[in-house]
Amino acid sequence: MRLTTLSLLIALAVPTVASAASPLARAMTEVRADRWEAAWAQAAPAGPVARDIVTWRWLRAGQGEFADYLDFTARNPDWPGLARLRAEGEAKIPADAHPDRVIAYFRGAAPTTGAGALRLVQAHAARGEIAEARALALRAWRTLPLSEGAQDELLSRFRDHLAEHHVARLDEMLWQGHFVSARRMLPLVPAGWKALAEARMALREDAPGVDALIARVPAALSNDPGLAHERFGWRQRKERTADAIALIEERSGSAAALGKPEEWAGARRAFVRQLLRDGDPARAYRMAARHHLGGGADFADLEWLAGFIALRYLNKPDAALGHFRTLEARVGSPISLARAGYWQGRALEALGRPQEAKAAYSRAGAHQTTYYGLLAAERAGLPMDPALVGNETYPDWRDAPWANGSVLRAALMFHEAGERALTEMFLTHLAETAGPRGQRQLAGLALRLGDHHVALRIAKVAAGQGNVMVAAYFPLTDLARAKHPVPTELVKAIARRESEFNPAAVSPAGARGLMQVMPGTAEAMAGRLGMRYSSKALTSDPAYNARLGAAYLAHLVEAFGLNPVLVAASYNAGPNRARAWVTEHGDPRSAGVDVVDWVELIPFRETRNYVMRVAESLPVYRARLSGRTEPIRLSQELKAR
């Protein structure tokens, strides 16, 4: 065990035995076998926090009685994962539970299930708090799926109050896909709404006779947004893409015509890019611009797409500038702010307003840990921020308000037990509400523990809130000391994006370890290097994984040169796809191809983001590795051969 870890654990009075012998490690083995009594017994020597860890897992698994949930949440209101735990507990509240205990359970956390809402309604009613009971019943009625018994009881208590909301409940259950609850509402709504609901459900379920059901919908309801959305989904599933695009265009005149604009947004993004590929930028622009969203990731992507198409395809820099300014006003992360500012600069240049363009680039260039921040800083003529060397110090975590709390104690126990995912869960949970100083303390703690993955995860939480901690955000690891057949900064940039430096990571597709190498690729690289191939070592030996991953990077460099765009795209999506994109959009290394546009036209969202994140890491890691800054030349690096 590391001496730094030892001193930290001694300071917190946490057992310092080796991971394999840790009481919590033994307890977690029993937990995974559902041997709960044995798990508590194994955890007992480590103290009450270790026992609470077992209880936390037990309750999240839906075990125990209401009293157990009430006790745990009262003692540990700041633990992560309580939303799931509380939802499990709502189902355990008995009908005869004391009203005060029920109300205490929901203090600070509204019910998320119909069962929980009913029990809280009953508790307020039992205490004579009729207004509270009525308000809660209405919220549950309009938003939550309910069992038959819960529905009947709410109706028996508040029939007159709920009567005018039956249609709203039916509509919401249909949008959410809770068709059992929706079908229970059919006897309570007018005949026209019943016909509409049956048509919507039939469309979603691909039921036979759907055309006849749609024909039964009265004319007054035939324009219902929910029905339109189900028809849209049906057309997508049947691969009637042109008809689906026509329908979303037809409905995009207003938010009301869409009903729930967010439900259309994912498909809208895909169709915008498809229309661009099909050579119809005017139609793509209208699709992007008429999203009717107020914020969030889909808003940011669609608002940017509208501006990008207006600027780069339609020669409408004024319209583009409006979109990019709207984007900047409604986002908060450094990545999004830099993107908005950079493209404002491009639009202002197109409008012949160079001073305003430089101001926009300078604003975006303040975010030099991001792809667009670096590109903007380069255009503004800004020097590299000296902070990117990563020499910042982190304040002592021991004076933090959470230093002696059970969440940190649990996190350190998980760390010592080798529970990487749970260590991350608890420390990042603290980071979400710790504020800038607390986030720096947590990042410093993770770095002292030697857990670069958790340090990076904490730093990402902080960066999303505008607090960039370079040493944790771009951590140096053993990769910095190893010799590689390609530049070290490229290996680190790929590993940072692939696994976030988690040596045990396994993707759903089967990629493994630090550099997320596919087993087949790893075996081929091992053969090329004359090494023994070991599937187990891919996740147990980071150096072994890194050597094979770096060998594959060298293979890609042989094909594409030291071009980070093509190498990163190939590592993520495969070299054949990268070659296909070169055929479609031109070679990003060529003088006549705008490489920034080229990256944005990569058809896979994951790969677009991947390329940007790898590219932005390269100059930062060079600064971290060398201990000195360099002139920003990212645009040149993106064109490298």
Alpha-carbon span 491 to 398, nearest angstrom: 34
Alpha-carbon span 316 to 351, nearest angstrom: 9
Alpha-carbon span 357 to 347, nearest angstrom: 8
Task: Specify the DSSP element, H or E, that contains 54.
Answer: helix 48-60
Alpha-carbon span 8 to 65, nearest angstrom: 36
CA neighbor of 115 nearest in space, from 91, 142, 151:
91
Cross-strand pairs, 512: 506, 517
- What lies within 8 Å, CB to CB, of 425 at 6+ separation is 80, 81
Task: State whether residue 517 is helix, strand or coil.
Answer: strand
- Taking the C-alpha atoms of 452, 458, 461 and 464 in order, what is their torsion angle to the nearest 10 degrees? -60
Question: Cβ distance 227 to 199 under 8 Å?
Answer: yes
- What lies within 8 Å, CB to CB, of 446 at 6+ separation is 427, 452, 454, 455, 458, 472
Question: Cβ distance 381 to 361 under 8 Å?
Answer: no
Question: Cβ distance 456 to 496 under 8 Å?
Answer: yes
Alpha-carbon span 147 to 366, nearest angstrom: 53
Judging by beta carbons within 10 Å of its beta carbon (0-12, 13-18, 19+), is residue 341 exposed, middle or buried?
buried
Catalytic option among 198, 424, 498, 500: 498
In the residue annotation, 378 being an active-site residue is answered as no
CA neighbor of 191 nearest in space, from 153, 231, 220:
220
- What lies within 8 Å, CB to CB, of 87 at 6+ separation is 112, 113, 116
Token output for 469? 């901690």
Amino acid at 274: Q
DSSP state of 512: B
CA neighbor of 608 nearest in space, from 563, 572, 583:
572
Residue 26 vs residues 38, 49, 76: alpha-carbon distances, Å: 9, 15, 23
Alpha-carbon span 106 to 335, nearest angstrom: 37
User: Looking at the annotation, which residues are catalytic?
Assistant: 498
